[in-house]
Structure 1
Protein backbone atom coordinates (compact mmCIF):
# COMPACT_ATOMS: atom_id res chain seq x y z
CA UNK A 1 0.00 0.00 0.00
CA UNK A 2 1.56 3.27 -1.09
CA UNK A 3 1.05 6.57 0.58
CA UNK A 4 -0.23 9.05 -2.05
CA UNK A 5 -0.85 11.91 0.35
CA UNK A 6 0.81 15.24 -0.39
CA UNK A 7 3.99 15.80 1.58
CA UNK A 8 2.55 18.73 3.54
CA UNK A 9 -0.46 16.87 4.98
CA UNK A 10 -0.23 16.78 8.73
CA UNK A 11 2.17 19.70 8.92
CA UNK A 12 1.04 22.95 10.42
CA UNK A 13 0.60 25.75 7.89
CA UNK A 14 3.57 28.02 7.38
CA UNK A 15 3.34 31.06 9.63
CA UNK A 16 2.09 34.16 7.85
CA UNK A 17 3.95 37.36 8.37
CA UNK A 18 2.25 40.16 10.22
CA UNK A 19 0.34 42.30 7.66
CA UNK A 20 1.74 45.51 9.17
CA UNK A 21 5.30 44.24 8.79
CA UNK A 22 4.58 43.18 5.21
CA UNK A 23 3.08 46.59 4.40
CA UNK A 24 6.05 48.44 5.94
CA UNK A 25 8.53 46.30 4.01
CA UNK A 26 6.62 46.80 0.77
CA UNK A 27 6.35 50.59 1.18
CA UNK A 28 10.04 50.92 2.02
CA UNK A 29 11.48 48.40 -0.45
CA UNK A 30 9.04 48.33 -3.40
CA UNK A 31 7.05 51.57 -3.35
CA UNK A 32 6.37 51.50 -7.12
CA UNK A 33 4.28 48.37 -6.74
CA UNK A 34 2.89 49.05 -3.27
CA UNK A 35 1.39 52.51 -3.80
CA UNK A 36 -0.90 51.37 -6.66
CA UNK A 37 -2.01 48.48 -4.43
CA UNK A 38 -2.75 50.93 -1.61
CA UNK A 39 -4.71 53.18 -3.98
CA UNK A 40 -6.88 50.25 -5.08
CA UNK A 41 -7.78 49.25 -1.52
CA UNK A 42 -11.16 50.29 -0.20
CA UNK A 43 -10.20 50.95 3.40
CA UNK A 44 -11.69 53.69 5.52
CA UNK A 45 -9.60 56.30 7.30
CA UNK A 46 -10.70 54.76 10.60
CA UNK A 47 -9.41 51.34 9.59
CA UNK A 48 -6.07 52.75 8.46
CA UNK A 49 -5.78 54.77 11.64
CA UNK A 50 -6.68 51.86 13.93
CA UNK A 51 -4.79 49.05 12.23
CA UNK A 52 -1.76 50.90 10.84
CA UNK A 53 -1.12 54.38 12.22
CA UNK A 54 -1.84 53.64 15.89
CA UNK A 55 0.60 50.73 16.21
CA UNK A 56 3.34 52.19 14.00
CA UNK A 57 3.27 55.65 15.56
CA UNK A 58 4.08 54.01 18.91
CA UNK A 59 7.47 52.67 17.75
CA UNK A 60 9.43 55.90 18.22
CA UNK A 61 7.91 57.04 21.51
CA UNK A 62 8.23 53.59 23.10
CA UNK A 63 11.80 53.17 21.81
CA UNK A 64 12.79 56.62 23.11
CA UNK A 65 11.10 55.91 26.44
CA UNK A 66 13.09 52.71 26.91
CA UNK A 67 16.33 54.17 25.56
CA UNK A 68 16.22 57.36 27.59
CA UNK A 69 15.47 55.58 30.87
CA UNK A 70 17.94 52.74 30.26
CA UNK A 71 20.85 54.68 28.74
CA UNK A 72 20.12 58.36 29.22
CA UNK A 73 21.37 61.16 27.02
CA UNK A 74 25.07 62.06 26.89
CA UNK A 75 26.31 65.55 26.08
CA UNK A 76 30.00 66.43 26.32
CA UNK A 77 30.71 63.57 28.72
CA UNK A 78 27.74 64.25 30.99
CA UNK A 79 24.89 61.73 31.03
CA UNK A 80 21.36 62.78 31.93
CA UNK A 81 18.57 60.29 32.55
CA UNK A 82 15.02 61.60 32.68
CA UNK A 83 12.72 60.40 35.43
CA UNK A 84 10.40 57.55 34.51
CA UNK A 85 7.39 59.83 34.86
CA UNK A 86 8.96 62.48 32.66
CA UNK A 87 9.91 59.91 30.03
CA UNK A 88 6.40 58.44 30.04
CA UNK A 89 4.86 61.90 29.75
CA UNK A 90 7.16 62.76 26.87
CA UNK A 91 6.32 59.49 25.11
CA UNK A 92 2.58 60.06 25.48
CA UNK A 93 2.79 63.62 24.13
CA UNK A 94 5.02 62.52 21.24
CA UNK A 95 2.65 59.67 20.36
CA UNK A 96 -0.45 61.86 20.50
CA UNK A 97 1.16 64.58 18.38
CA UNK A 98 2.30 62.03 15.81
CA UNK A 99 -1.25 60.73 15.40
CA UNK A 100 -2.69 64.25 15.39
CA UNK A 101 -0.14 65.20 12.73
CA UNK A 102 -1.35 62.42 10.43
CA UNK A 103 -4.95 63.52 10.83
CA UNK A 104 -4.13 67.21 10.19
CA UNK A 105 -1.91 66.33 7.22
CA UNK A 106 -4.73 64.26 5.72
CA UNK A 107 -7.08 67.25 6.00
CA UNK A 108 -4.50 69.51 4.33
CA UNK A 109 -3.87 66.99 1.53
CA UNK A 110 -7.60 66.66 0.95
CA UNK A 111 -8.11 70.42 0.91
CA UNK A 112 -5.21 71.05 -1.49
CA UNK A 113 -5.90 68.14 -3.85
CA UNK A 114 -7.92 70.23 -6.38
CA UNK A 115 -5.00 72.69 -6.66
CA UNK A 116 -2.88 69.84 -8.06
CA UNK A 117 -5.44 68.46 -10.49
CA UNK A 118 -6.66 65.71 -8.17
CA UNK A 119 -10.13 65.16 -6.80
CA UNK A 120 -10.93 65.60 -3.14
CA UNK A 121 -11.05 62.20 -1.47
CA UNK A 122 -10.62 62.07 2.29
CA UNK A 123 -9.87 58.32 2.30
CA UNK A 124 -7.07 58.68 -0.25
CA UNK A 125 -5.71 61.73 1.55
CA UNK A 126 -5.59 59.74 4.75
CA UNK A 127 -3.81 56.88 2.94
CA UNK A 128 -1.11 59.28 1.74
CA UNK A 129 -0.70 60.86 5.18
CA UNK A 130 -0.58 57.59 7.11
CA UNK A 131 1.39 55.43 4.71
CA UNK A 132 3.71 58.32 3.87
CA UNK A 133 4.79 58.47 7.52
CA UNK A 134 5.93 54.84 7.43
CA UNK A 135 9.66 55.51 7.04
CA UNK A 136 9.72 58.00 9.90
CA UNK A 137 7.77 55.73 12.20
CA UNK A 138 9.96 52.73 11.39
CA UNK A 139 13.11 54.80 11.93
CA UNK A 140 11.87 55.57 15.44
CA UNK A 141 13.37 52.24 16.52
CA UNK A 142 16.76 53.99 16.64
CA UNK A 143 15.50 55.74 19.77
CA UNK A 144 16.27 52.57 21.72
CA UNK A 145 19.90 53.67 21.79
CA UNK A 146 19.89 57.46 22.19
CA UNK A 147 23.38 57.85 20.72
CA UNK A 148 22.07 56.28 17.48
CA UNK A 149 18.83 58.28 17.35
CA UNK A 150 20.38 60.68 14.84
CA UNK A 151 20.21 57.82 12.29
CA UNK A 152 16.45 58.29 12.13
CA UNK A 153 16.97 61.38 9.97
CA UNK A 154 18.44 59.24 7.22
Structure 2
Protein backbone atom coordinates (compact mmCIF):
# COMPACT_ATOMS: atom_id res chain seq x y z
CA UNK A 1 0.00 0.00 0.00
CA UNK A 2 1.32 3.41 -0.96
CA UNK A 3 0.27 5.69 1.90
CA UNK A 4 0.59 8.92 -0.07
CA UNK A 5 -1.42 7.65 -3.05
CA UNK A 6 -4.10 6.14 -0.80
CA UNK A 7 -4.46 9.36 1.20
CA UNK A 8 -4.53 11.48 -1.97
CA UNK A 9 -7.13 9.26 -3.61
CA UNK A 10 -9.28 9.12 -0.49
CA UNK A 11 -9.44 12.91 -0.52
CA UNK A 12 -9.69 13.58 -4.26
CA UNK A 13 -11.51 10.52 -5.58
CA UNK A 14 -13.14 8.77 -2.60
CA UNK A 15 -15.83 6.86 -4.51
CA UNK A 16 -13.32 5.20 -6.80
CA UNK A 17 -10.94 4.53 -3.91
CA UNK A 18 -13.64 2.85 -1.82
CA UNK A 19 -14.25 0.54 -4.80
CA UNK A 20 -10.56 -0.38 -4.79
CA UNK A 21 -10.52 -0.95 -1.03
CA UNK A 22 -13.63 -3.10 -1.35
CA UNK A 23 -11.57 -5.46 -3.50
CA UNK A 24 -8.77 -5.72 -0.94
CA UNK A 25 -8.57 -8.42 1.70
CA UNK A 26 -9.07 -6.89 5.18
CA UNK A 27 -5.86 -6.95 7.21
CA UNK A 28 -6.00 -5.02 10.47
CA UNK A 29 -2.25 -5.18 11.11
CA UNK A 30 -1.48 -3.89 7.62
CA UNK A 31 -3.97 -1.03 7.89
CA UNK A 32 -2.70 0.05 11.31
CA UNK A 33 1.05 -0.26 10.68
CA UNK A 34 0.99 0.69 7.03
CA UNK A 35 -1.54 3.53 7.08
CA UNK A 36 -2.73 4.67 10.49
CA UNK A 37 0.69 4.81 12.15
CA UNK A 38 2.44 6.75 9.36
CA UNK A 39 -0.31 9.37 9.07
CA UNK A 40 -1.04 9.65 12.80
CA UNK A 41 2.72 9.68 13.40
CA UNK A 42 3.24 12.61 11.04
CA UNK A 43 0.38 14.48 12.72
CA UNK A 44 2.02 13.74 16.09
CA UNK A 45 5.39 15.10 14.92
CA UNK A 46 3.68 18.24 13.61
CA UNK A 47 1.92 18.70 16.97
CA UNK A 48 5.18 18.24 18.88
CA UNK A 49 6.97 20.86 16.79
CA UNK A 50 4.05 23.27 16.83
CA UNK A 51 3.19 23.18 20.51
CA UNK A 52 6.70 22.43 21.72
CA UNK A 53 8.56 25.23 19.93
CA UNK A 54 6.10 27.63 18.27
CA UNK A 55 3.12 27.67 20.60
CA UNK A 56 -0.10 29.63 20.49
CA UNK A 57 -2.01 32.15 22.57
CA UNK A 58 -5.13 30.78 24.23
CA UNK A 59 -6.94 33.64 25.87
CA UNK A 60 -4.99 34.76 28.93
CA UNK A 61 -2.15 32.27 28.57
CA UNK A 62 0.20 30.77 26.02
CA UNK A 63 0.50 27.06 25.26
CA UNK A 64 4.13 26.35 24.50
CA UNK A 65 6.89 24.09 25.77
CA UNK A 66 8.40 20.67 25.24
CA UNK A 67 5.97 19.07 27.69
CA UNK A 68 3.05 20.56 25.82
CA UNK A 69 4.55 19.30 22.58
CA UNK A 70 4.90 15.79 23.95
CA UNK A 71 1.36 15.86 25.31
CA UNK A 72 -0.15 17.02 22.01
CA UNK A 73 1.92 14.48 20.07
CA UNK A 74 0.82 11.68 22.39
CA UNK A 75 -2.77 12.81 21.97
CA UNK A 76 -2.54 12.63 18.19
CA UNK A 77 -0.90 9.20 18.17
CA UNK A 78 -2.87 7.49 20.92
CA UNK A 79 -6.21 8.91 19.86
CA UNK A 80 -5.45 7.92 16.30
CA UNK A 81 -4.78 4.26 17.07
CA UNK A 82 -7.27 3.74 19.91
CA UNK A 83 -9.88 5.82 18.12
CA UNK A 84 -9.75 3.58 15.07
CA UNK A 85 -9.98 0.34 17.02
CA UNK A 86 -12.67 1.39 19.49
CA UNK A 87 -14.82 3.14 16.88
CA UNK A 88 -14.48 0.17 14.52
CA UNK A 89 -15.42 -2.26 17.29
CA UNK A 90 -18.59 -0.38 18.22
CA UNK A 91 -19.58 0.30 14.61
CA UNK A 92 -19.10 -3.37 13.82
CA UNK A 93 -21.22 -4.40 16.81
CA UNK A 94 -24.00 -2.12 15.57
CA UNK A 95 -23.92 -3.49 12.02
CA UNK A 96 -26.70 -6.10 12.39
CA UNK A 97 -29.05 -3.39 13.67
CA UNK A 98 -28.76 -1.67 10.30
CA UNK A 99 -28.90 -4.78 8.09
CA UNK A 100 -25.16 -4.42 7.51
CA UNK A 101 -22.31 -6.90 7.39
CA UNK A 102 -20.60 -7.66 10.69
CA UNK A 103 -16.91 -7.77 9.77
CA UNK A 104 -14.29 -6.23 12.05
CA UNK A 105 -11.69 -6.07 9.30
CA UNK A 106 -14.01 -4.05 7.09
CA UNK A 107 -14.93 -1.81 10.02
CA UNK A 108 -11.26 -1.04 10.66
CA UNK A 109 -10.82 -0.19 6.98
CA UNK A 110 -13.90 2.03 7.07
CA UNK A 111 -12.82 4.04 10.11
CA UNK A 112 -9.11 4.21 9.30
CA UNK A 113 -9.54 5.50 5.79
CA UNK A 114 -12.38 7.85 6.73
CA UNK A 115 -10.02 9.51 9.23
CA UNK A 116 -7.63 10.46 6.41
CA UNK A 117 -8.62 14.17 6.26
CA UNK A 118 -8.21 14.49 10.02
CA UNK A 119 -4.62 13.25 9.92
CA UNK A 120 -3.75 15.28 6.84
CA UNK A 121 -5.32 18.34 8.45
CA UNK A 122 -3.40 17.53 11.61
CA UNK A 123 -0.19 18.45 9.80
CA UNK A 124 -1.25 22.08 10.24
CA UNK A 125 -0.59 21.66 13.97
CA UNK A 126 2.98 22.54 13.11
CA UNK A 127 1.55 26.08 13.21
CA UNK A 128 -0.93 25.85 16.13
CA UNK A 129 -2.65 29.08 15.15
CA UNK A 130 -3.80 27.28 11.97
CA UNK A 131 -4.90 24.11 13.76
CA UNK A 132 -8.57 25.10 13.47
CA UNK A 133 -8.28 24.87 9.67
CA UNK A 134 -7.07 21.29 10.02
CA UNK A 135 -9.98 20.58 12.35
CA UNK A 136 -12.40 21.92 9.75
CA UNK A 137 -10.74 19.79 7.09
CA UNK A 138 -11.39 16.72 9.21
CA UNK A 139 -15.13 17.26 8.69
CA UNK A 140 -14.60 15.98 5.16
CA UNK A 141 -13.97 12.62 6.79
CA UNK A 142 -17.67 12.46 7.63
CA UNK A 143 -18.45 12.43 3.92
CA UNK A 144 -15.89 9.67 3.42
CA UNK A 145 -17.50 7.64 6.19
CA UNK A 146 -20.92 8.05 4.60
CA UNK A 147 -19.62 6.95 1.20
CA UNK A 148 -17.80 4.00 2.69
CA UNK A 149 -20.70 2.38 4.53
CA UNK A 150 -22.30 0.68 1.48
CA UNK A 151 -18.92 -0.61 0.34
CA UNK A 152 -17.33 -1.72 3.59
CA UNK A 153 -20.44 -2.73 5.54
CA UNK A 154 -22.82 -3.59 2.68
CA UNK A 155 -25.33 -1.18 4.20
CA UNK A 156 -28.66 -0.95 2.33
CA UNK A 157 -29.49 2.48 0.96
CA UNK A 158 -32.48 2.91 3.26
CA UNK A 159 -30.28 2.24 6.32
CA UNK A 160 -27.27 4.26 5.23
CA UNK A 161 -28.19 7.60 6.78
CA UNK A 162 -29.28 6.19 10.14
CA UNK A 163 -26.18 3.98 10.38
CA UNK A 164 -24.02 6.97 9.47
CA UNK A 165 -25.57 9.17 12.17
CA UNK A 166 -25.16 6.52 14.86
CA UNK A 167 -21.59 5.79 13.72
CA UNK A 168 -20.79 9.50 13.85
CA UNK A 169 -22.14 9.81 17.39
CA UNK A 170 -20.07 6.79 18.41
CA UNK A 171 -16.87 8.28 16.97
CA UNK A 172 -17.48 11.61 18.70
CA UNK A 173 -18.12 9.87 22.02
CA UNK A 174 -14.98 7.75 21.64
CA UNK A 175 -12.79 10.79 21.04
CA UNK A 176 -14.34 12.74 23.92
CA UNK A 177 -13.78 9.86 26.34
CA UNK A 178 -10.19 9.28 25.18
CA UNK A 179 -9.52 13.01 25.42
CA UNK A 180 -10.84 13.16 28.98
CA UNK A 181 -8.75 10.15 30.01
CA UNK A 182 -5.64 11.62 28.39
CA UNK A 183 -6.17 14.94 30.18
CA UNK A 184 -6.78 13.25 33.52
CA UNK A 185 -3.89 10.78 33.37
CA UNK A 186 -1.19 12.32 31.20
CA UNK A 187 -1.30 16.05 31.95
CA UNK A 188 -0.64 15.73 35.72
CA UNK A 189 2.28 13.33 35.18
CA UNK A 190 3.91 15.85 32.84
CA UNK A 191 3.35 18.77 35.17
CA UNK A 192 0.88 20.41 32.82
CA UNK A 193 -1.89 22.56 34.19
CA UNK A 194 -4.07 25.14 32.48
CA UNK A 195 -4.53 27.09 35.70
CA UNK A 196 -0.78 27.13 36.33
CA UNK A 197 -0.08 28.32 32.78
CA UNK A 198 -2.66 31.10 33.16
CA UNK A 199 -1.04 32.35 36.36
CA UNK A 200 2.44 32.22 34.84
CA UNK A 201 1.24 34.05 31.74
CA UNK A 202 -0.40 36.80 33.80
CA UNK A 203 2.77 37.21 35.85
CA UNK A 204 4.89 37.52 32.71
CA UNK A 205 2.53 40.10 31.18
**Fold in common (TM above 0.5):** yes
Tell me how far apart the structure 2 counterparts of residues 115 and 132 of structure 1 sit (CA, whole Å).
Answer: 21
Counting matched residue pairs gives 136
Per-residue CA distance 1:86-125 (angstroms, 9 max, x = gap): 4214422431122101000110111111111112111111
- Divergent runs of 4+, >2 A: 75-80
What is the aligned counterpart of 2:96 among 114, 133, 141? 114
Unaligned residue ranges in structure 2 (runs of 5+): 137-205
Query: Which residue in the other structure is 1:139 paired with?
Result: 121
Per-residue CA distance 1:52-86 (angstroms, 9 max, x = gap): 1111112222111101122111245864422x134
Q: Which has the higher contact order (CA 8 A, sep 6+)?
A: 1
Unaligned residue ranges in structure 1 (runs of 5+): 1-17
Tell me how far apart the structure 2 counterparts of residues 151 and 93 of structure 1 sit (CA, whole Å).
Answer: 18
TM-score (norm 2): 0.61
How do 1:1-150 and structure 2 match up within 5 A? Answer: 19-75=2-58, 79-82=62-65, 84-150=66-132
The answer to which structure has the higher helix fraction is 2
Instruction: Report which of the two structures shows the higher radius of gyration computed on alpha carbons.
Output: 1
TM-score (norm 1): 0.80
